Amino acid sequence: MATELLNDLMARAGRLSAEEKKRLARFLSEEARPDSIGAQESTRPQVSGDRHNGEPAVEWLKAHAVEYAGQYVALNGDELVGSGLTIRDAHAAAQRNGCPQALLVHVPPTEGGSWGGW
């Protein structure tokens, strides 16, 4: 039964556009991971090689911080998969794009800057 379903899904996926295939691939990749949305009750550290652990997010921020100043962005490696004025909006956009576990980052505003709070 599972094999039939898999064959059917693969046949249907063959009719998707290139962009839709990429989106589906991201979704399946996220679905295959054992952990959940970005918050989990666990003490298990992520292992080396996880896309979130590299510095692609840093390089993306260096290149695009001015453009997205004051917003939240959702990053899947060095790929922007969502953005919004709130973390809720950015996360929702990432989910719509098949990346529910994207790294959610607040881009500092260009005016006023960030505050230490003390």
Partner 1 sequence: MAYQLEFDRVFQDDLDRDGIFLPITLHHGEQKTESEAQIDTGASCCIFRRDLGEGIGLDIESGFRQEINTVTGSFTTYGHPVMVSVLGFQFQSFVYFATAEGFNRNVLGRSGWLDRVRLGIVYHDSEVYLSSYGSS
Rule CB under 8 A: which residues touch partner 1? 36-48, 52-55, 57-58, 61-62, 65, 72, 87, 101, 103-106, 108, 113-118
Nearest to 97 by CA among 21, 33, 15, 26: 26
Give whichever of 3 and 42 is closer to partner 1, judged by the CB atom.
Answer: 42
C-beta of 72: minimal distance to partner 1 in Å? 8
Residue position matching structure tokens 């959610």: 104
DSSP assigned state of 71: S
Give whichever of 7 and 40 is closer to partner 1, judged by the CB atom.
Answer: 40
Give whichever of 22 and 51 is closer to partner 1, judged by the CB atom.
Answer: 51
Compute the half-sphere exposure of residue 105: CA atoms within 13 Å on the CB side of its CA.
26
